Amino acid sequence: MPIKSISAATRRRFLKGAAAAAGAAVFIPAPFAIGQAAKVKLGVLLPYSGTYAALGHNITDAMILAINEAGGTLGGRPVEYVKVDSEADPSKAAANTNKLVVGEKVDFLTGPVHSGVAMAMAKIVREEGTITVVSNAGADAVTREMCAANIFRTSFSNWQTCFPMGPEMLKRGHKRVVSITWNYAAGQEMIGAFRESFAANGGTIVKEMLVPFPNVEFQALLTEIASLKPDAVFSFFAGGGAVKFVKDYAAAGLKTSIPLFGSGFLTDGTLPAQGAAAEGIVTTLHYADSLDNPVNKKFREAFKKATNRDADVYAVQGYDTGKLLMHGMTAVKGDTGAKKEIMAAMRGATLDSPRGKFTFSKAQNPVQDIYLREVKNGDNVVIGVAHKALADPARGCTLA
Ligand code: BEZ
């Protein structure tokens, strides 16, 4: 049977069988195995191919950097990273999650980037109880109706990154706006959050354009935008798709006549490839490269040294994932059996992040500042705080 079609009941049988087999052997608690402390298995489900590949690499490398900076251990135990390429493909997400949770029996699971993958992953880990840290995907449901004591997020909810932009664009006199995004949960939820604050304050969305993920054929829609003549455009694209969209937008001659706005993913980790086409784009996000705090400066230097690449928002989220796991495991001195205590420590953590200090809401999602950024001379320059300490409304989450 392909692992993709394993049912919940089969998974339980699989685990029971494995436990029974283990019962026949002499049991040595993992952290106290003879010789060197036993390894902690950390499952990593991220994209290493396709339009989100660069995001997956930065999250992974920064997470490992955080753990290496603290001696390469979690709670005193060395770490075995078990990586699976998610391909940012929701149709493979259940099989890939099961591979790590059921097959590899990882102690912790991290990832993914894509909201559709996150939904499938959350469904499984809620049932299996694996402590999971979502290191990018913003799917609102993960910390709303699907929230669970064992699910944490170090990144953002899709809602958080776009809700502050509605009033900001109105303040700038943009009342008639076209939105354009990929047609999947992240795009729909980001546009939905923007619509919520934009329409409530008197703005009109003239047209909501949706492009199948991960397509990058924008020409026909750019022609339509030109004919609709909105005051501005609001969009979500990320990774390779964001590079292509921003370049096509400028090449179509729209950049000077119809200003482009978006969630910060549109210009994060992409500026060298976008070049002059990105100049002047205003976005909202929970990070900016040039944030002036010592943690950010130190982190950016260390990431550059370790990878020879520049850090971006994805790297920051990976770094904070490593820090959060460390916080939980330090509290129990590496005893992965003490799950309740690990989760309690993680829940109560204050992370001194390159984005600034943040805490976790009851739904275990960051409560964080959302910055207003503008691309100037190839840099996402912070021009204000669009919303201080913004918490996702966590509608439908029953965690108290
Ligand atoms: C998402 O699918 O949730 C997502 C992907 C890339 C950047 C931001 C969000």
Task: Kindly state whether residues 269 and 303 are assigned to the same domain.
Answer: no
Query: What is the per-residue pLDDT for 246?
Result: 98
Final residue of a domain: which of 265, 285, 305?
A: 285
CATH of residue 323's domain is 3.40.50.2300
Task: Kindly state whether residues 151 and 300 are assigned to the same domain.
Answer: yes
Burial class (CB within 10 angstroms; exposed 0-12, middle 13-18, buried 19+) of 115 = buried
Q: Does residue 32 fall inside a structural domain?
A: no
What's the CA gap between 349 and 119, in Å, rounded?
25
Alpha helices in 252-371 (DSSP H): 271-274, 294-307, 313-331, 339-347
Query: What is the per-residue pLDDT for 1?
Result: 30
Report which of 372, 396, 385, 367 is spatially closest to residue 156, judged by C-alpha positions.
367
Contact 112, 76 (CB under 8 A): no
Query: What is the per-residue pLDDT for 400?
Result: 86
The structural domain count of the chain equals 2
CB 137 less than 6 A from any atom of ligand 1: yes
Task: Kindly state whether residues 251 and 183 are assigned to the same domain.
Answer: yes
Final residue of a domain: which of 260, 285, 310?
A: 285
Task: Kindly state whether residues 308 and 253 are assigned to the same domain.
Answer: no
Q: Does residue 190 fall inside a structural domain?
A: yes
Task: Kindly state whether residues 170 and 217 are assigned to the same domain.
Answer: yes
Residues of the chain with pLDDT below 50 are: 1-34
Domain membership of residue 73 as a residue range? 39-156+292-367
- Ligand 1 centroid, distance to 138 Cα (angstroms): 6
Which of the listed residues 46, 113, 237 should we mutate to test ligand 1's pocket, taking the one with most ligand atoms within 8 A of CB? 113
Q: Does residue 196 fall inside a structural domain?
A: yes
Residue 352's contacts (CB-CB under 8 Å, 6 or more residues apart) are 295
Query: What is the per-residue pLDDT for 325?
Result: 98
- Ligand 1 centroid, distance to 88 Cα (angstroms): 10
Task: Kindly state whether residues 168 and 241 are assigned to the same domain.
Answer: yes
Locate 290 and state its tokens. Answer: 């040039």
CB 238 less than 6 A from any atom of ligand 1: yes
Q: Does residue 94 fall inside a structural domain?
A: yes
Q: Does residue 397 fall inside a structural domain?
A: no
Query: What is the per-residue pLDDT for 36?
Result: 74
Q: Does residue 146 fall inside a structural domain?
A: yes
- Ligand 1 centroid, distance to 113 Cα (angstroms): 6
Task: Kindly state whether residues 180 and 229 are assigned to the same domain.
Answer: yes
- Ligand 1 centroid, distance to 187 Cα (angstroms): 8
CB 115 less than 6 A from any atom of ligand 1: yes
